[in-house]
Structure 1
């Protein structure tokens, strides 16, 4: 989790599939324990989206990503609430969350009673966007009913203050360690931040540089692994909205079609995407006890390995089998 600088967590169970796809012998209870003991927290960070991160990273990343988070709130609610109202709402919202965790529905009702003239949704979202909060347990625990997301104050939940002097340089280096080679625009797309050109210029003497196929300048750490172009890329089944699909402005390196990365409703671990030959090639869903794989096109030689990977995922999710739905009009679903 630290190496990836967190994982997408809008769907609270998605990180379990994301770690299953990356780690040998991953045990979901290990992740649940880390969330329960508050080593890991679910909080709004990069791009104003929910991530599962270490508590230490939450405290250092929140001040850095705040501009992107505020920008996301203003883009959706600025016309519904004034700056003066916003200050009053967040002040009282902090008091409410200091008492106990609350859902947005609870906050909406309390705010509506106190300020009926202000849009209740705008007030509830002001708290979740503009205050450093986490989504506390039991949300995010494996094998537990997720229920509605609650909000708690980040600093109180982890019992530590926000980092007063977080280093954006260190975060850029960690981005490259996880997702490099990358461009300035890639790092900005991943983080939601702007103005990172001067950070890359400052770090350039300690980085290696490359040119992409389009002539774009890419940066990487000198000792980062860089497999050869003909290195085999085994099929991988990922959760919905996995970081690897979202962490570059130029997504052509992994999505070479017009297909959009899906974020279906639900708590996660029931559907996702898959990679074949290193590219986003389709989706999967757990239907009954079968992982059903739906390619966007023909798979070729990867099909048997993909089914084997699907069976492994099915076993992890409590299922028993995997099958590929045919992409041809006249043939039926094939079970391998």
Structure 2
């Protein structure tokens, strides 16, 4: 068996990610242009898309993202890896169709669904009623009442647990500091039918525009689609290939010595989770520290393009930074400048963002802890 030769260096791959993810310097672009370039923004925590875009857009105004969610030009929905992402509306249509078999299987073949007194056919039939009902935003209690009238009491987690994942619904803004409050609302959206493999191919092309160069294993990690499906879809795309790495044509790779400013990243930032080889941005010795066993991915500190620690807000409204290894004073100065800007953003929205994850701060491999 011939082993592919990788001609990219580790730092070239790191710089390629930073470049495409707009992390080599904030750029004076509109919000929709930035969302299009980032491709997929992890959105389990309502604040995270805001912090992700703050790290990337020069002069970012969070009200722009509020409006984008409210008008539906940016949608929040269960997509890749069966997790919530914020994506452009056009990408949502493609990604939903590409991911639909995986979204369905994650629920309909789960033992929790199989234990319910309801068939897959019944669940699909009631989905038609749900989509019509949710043409205006509906909250969980309203939806469960509708479903109960059609399929009866099936206990917990209930049919809604399955339908909200694969049914094609998006999260509707409910207010709060980050557009989505503690009681989510859901709304149906109109999508055009698409041939599934064409949708998969387009999703992978979009992935490469924002995260390439990347391997089949990387694409598998990003989407959780089978590798056989990925390889089949890649055959229909016009791509360049270098060893095991695929990329879209005519994209340059920054030099290894390209400078990368410090960044205080959102929880679950997509750059940390979009690759099988997470050493592209997370040193191996820190991977299990910042990505916990239950999947929680902490708000990280990037120094020279790599994870070098974590951060959290303090009760006094400052930012506490834990560095995992020694940093020089020039690097700390850059971090302090970022923290000043972050404090302003949080102060206007939620100074104690991510506070419910504070349990992870005990036992960190701290080399230095500073309040900046």
Fold in common (TM above 0.5) = yes
- 1:80 match: 115
Q: How does 1:99-248 map to 2 (within 5 A)?
A: 99-100=133-134, 101-108=137-144, 111=147, 118-138=154-174, 142=177, 146-155=181-190, 160-163=191-194, 166-194=198-226, 195-203=229-237, 206-210=239-243, 217-248=244-275
The Cα shift of 1:235 comes to 1.1
Q: Give the unaligned 5+ runs of structure 1.
A: 211-216
Output the CA distance in 2 between the equivalents of 1:235 and 1:280.
10
Output the CA distance in 2 between the equivalents of 1:90 and 1:172.
28
Deviations 1:121-173 (A, max 9, x none): 1312121123111111225x756571311222222xxxx53445644333222
RMSD: 3.2
- 2:8 match: none
- 2:361 match: none
Q: 2:309 aligns with which of 282, 286, 290?
A: 282
Distance 1:273 1:109, change over 3 A: farther
The question of whether the paired residues in 2 share the 8 Å contact of 1:189 and 1:249 is answered with yes
The question of whether the paired residues in 1 share the 8 Å contact of 2:94 and 2:203 is answered with no
Deviations 1:208-252 (A, max 9, x none): 415xxxxxx112233223112222222111110011011011111
Output the CA distance in 1 between the equivalents of 2:142 and 2:121.
19
Q: Give the unaligned 5+ runs of structure 2.
A: 1-34, 352-363
Distance 1:202 1:162, change over 3 A: closer
Distance 1:260 1:186, change over 3 A: same
Output the CA distance in 1 between the equivalents of 2:192 and 2:239.
31
How many aligned residue pairs are there? 313
2:268 alignment partner, SS class = coil
The question of whether the paired residues in 2 share the 8 Å contact of 1:93 and 1:127 is answered with yes
Distance 1:284 1:335, change over 3 A: closer
Output the CA distance in 1 between the equivalents of 2:180 and 2:214.
38
- 2:291 match: 261
Distance 1:79 1:278, change over 3 A: same
Q: 1:50 aligns with which of 84, 94, 97?
A: 84
1:275 alignment partner, SS class = strand
Output the CA distance in 2 between the equivalents of 1:254 and 1:116.
48
The question of whether the paired residues in 2 share the 8 Å contact of 1:326 and 1:334 is answered with no
Deviations 1:53-107 (A, max 9, x none): 122221121111112212322346343237x523323433542452343333544
The question of whether the paired residues in 1 share the 8 Å contact of 2:264 and 2:301 is answered with yes
Which of the pair has the greater relative contact order for Cα pairs under 8 Å at 6+ separation? Answer: 2
The question of whether the paired residues in 2 share the 8 Å contact of 1:42 and 1:52 is answered with yes
- 2:331 match: 302
- 1:16 match: 50
The question of whether the paired residues in 1 share the 8 Å contact of 2:103 and 2:165 is answered with yes
Distance 1:33 1:117, change over 3 A: closer
The question of whether the paired residues in 1 share the 8 Å contact of 2:122 and 2:151 is answered with no
Deviations 1:183-217 (A, max 9, x none): 011012111212212333444x641415xxxxxx1
Q: 1:41 aligns with which of 51, 68, 75?
A: 75
The question of whether the paired residues in 1 share the 8 Å contact of 2:53 and 2:60 is answered with yes
Q: 1:26 aligns with which of 48, 56, 60?
A: 60
